[in-house]
Structure 1
Amino acid sequence: MTSNKTWFITGAGRGFGRIWAQAALERGDRVALTLRNPAQAADLVERFPDTALALKLDVTNRAEVFAAVATAHDHFGRLDVIVNNAGFGQMGAIEEVDEDSIRANFETNVFGTLSVIQAALPLLRAQGAGHIINLSSVAGIVAVPTAGIYEGAKFAVEGISEALAAEVAQFGVRVSIVEPSGYATEFLSAGSIGSAPAMTEYDALREELAASLGEGDLGDPAASAPAILALVDAEKPPLRLMLGNLLPFVKDVYAQRIATWEAWDHVALAAHGNTGSEA
């Protein structure tokens, strides 16, 4: 399974969404690029007039999501790859972030993703095939201080996607969760990350975290395109695909979790209340 696929990509105006859309178009695929400002994709539509379609979409508007999915399907005749890429970060300790900012982050990262899935699934089921790719992050695997709201949203995407994969496999629909490490995309810009007013009580923690993370080794966003093409072309795509050098870190985190579970297993077993001594 290689090219001639039809994609529907949210957040396609910049970052991963733009890079993956361009890579798909350059190899001959068809792409519905959805974004808040379609003018950001005007150059791609001009380069690929027969295979690129730019649609205005705010994923927090559920009616708009269903209309965009239907328009893209009507335009191309089918949809093969659904990429839920739209999202933004939120920095701040849990105590610092106000309710409106919390809800806004979940509206885009979680409910926007859900709306796209629910709009596309009937079409994918009807054609007996399709691949839903949901963008998570290393923040959907491991939580660190002062990013808990964004991490909570990405943990939600992970759980939703895992359940979804088991539900829709029977229809020939596959689901993959993409978990990037840190990349030098526009995601790091002010327009892509909300920041809560800082409380001095958490300043020392922020400084400690910054010192432990250092400058970081940000990945090249362009290098991610071949990985995504390989994912959508795989006969048996994985449920999870990490992008970047995350495996050693994640293995260490999970080893620590298993060690804790094992150390407390006697308490867990006692909490079950059944000694197993009954005949």
Structure 2
Amino acid sequence: MSKTWFITGASKGFGREWAEAALGRGDSVAGTARNPDDVRDLEEQYPETFLGLRLDVTDHDADTAAVRRAAEHFGSLDVVVNNAGFGHFGMVEELTEDEVRAQLETNFFGALWATQAALPIMREQGSGHIVQVSSIGGISAFPTVGAYHASKWALEGLSQSLSQEVADFGIHVTLVEPGGFSTDWSGPSSKRSAELDAYDDVREAASKRPSAADPGKPEATRSAILAVVDADEPPLRVFFGKAPLGIAERDYESRLATWREWQPVAEQAHGS
């Protein structure tokens, strides 16, 4: 049975790959972009099943209107993919207030507004799937991208709570957590803070992270996302790429070891 998708940031990267994957198998897709011309070719290729929508996800009212229009146009709303986002590079000391707010407005609030708009529709249907594009950076953290991590860690917590709140309505929630991929996330799409010389060595070390040497292929995620949305019981969290599992294992083993070491202090703090 075909599905109806709403995908933010459908003009490039994962959003584009997943829109094409869904359309290619006969699903319907409402795809958003800041510039509708960037998805005009999809409208021409799939005039009956693709709806291109202009959207800046930081605009709360526009998010609500776009989601409603998609549902009205296609008659249902099965999968909402909150993909629109960007990476901001800057040491925590280098970040300006405007930079951090812009990062959160797009990566976190944009996903929240679209999710809130979709939930009444999905509750009435008694079904639906919210797919949040997070990152390995949503459960771990590295130097130079603190603001980005803040946005994705916030999305992770919000979405885990959401999954428990909407399960009885037949609505699933999945956090897709990619590792490094050959997209322009760290290129033209990214933003950068003014650099302080004091952090040059940290920046140099960060640029040599192993994941940068073997990025994943975005086109390979097409079959992966279809497997996730077609699952009878989709996962709350799923990694995309080879590297994230090893990163998570090392990170969580370290956390558990530290928590256990300091458990006597934790119990001391509890009181008798």
Tell me, what secondary structure is at the counterpart of 2:77? coil
Amino acid at match of 2:232: E
2:196 is the alignment partner of 1:199? yes
Query: C-alpha deviations, 1:7-64, integer Å up to 9, x for none?
Result: 0000001010001000000000000011111111111111111100001011001111
The change in CA–CA distance for 1:45 and 1:235 in structure 2 (over 3 A counts) is same
Separation in 2, partners of 1:88, 1:147: 11
Letter matched to residue 204 of structure 1: D
TM-score normalized with structure 1 length: 0.95
Separation (CA, whole Å) in 2 of partners of 1:106 and 1:48: 33
User: Unpaired segments of 5 or more residues in structure 2?
Assistant: none
Give distance in 1, aligned partners of 2:210 and 2:200.
Answer: 15
CA distance in 1: counterparts of 2:25 and 2:253, whole angstroms: 41
In the other structure, the counterpart of 2:70 is 72
Aligned-residue identity in percent = 51
With normalisation by structure 2, the TM-score equals 0.97
Per-residue CA distance 1:219-267 (angstroms, 9 max, x = gap):
0000001000000000000000100112122111111110000000010
Match of 1:225 among 222, 234, 238: 222
Aligned mates of 1:218, 1:48 — CA distance in 2: 30
The residue aligned with 1:277 is none
Distance 2:130 2:36 in 1: 23
**Is 1:16 aligned to 2:44, yes or no?**
no
C-alpha RMSD of matched pairs (Å): 1.0
Q: Distance in 2 between matches of 1:98 and 1:155?
A: 19
**C-alpha displacement at 1:210, in angstroms?**
2.4
Q: Distance in 1 between matches of 2:219 and 2:211?
A: 23
**Distance in 2, Cα, partners of 1:41 & 1:205:** 39
Deviations along 1:81-102, one digit per CA (max 9) or x if unpaired, are 0000000111011110111011
Take 1:227 and 1:74, find their aligned partners in 2: how far apart are those partners? Answer: 28
**CA-CA distance at 1:209 after TM superposition:** 2.3
Structure of larger gyration radius? 1
Unaligned runs of 5+ in 1: 275-279
Q: How far, CA to CA, are the matches of 1:58 and 1:203 in structure 2?
A: 34
Cα 1:209–1:62, aligned 2, differ >3 Å: closer, same or farther? same
Q: Which runs of 4+ in 1 moved over 3 A?
A: 211-215
2:76 is aligned with 1:117: no
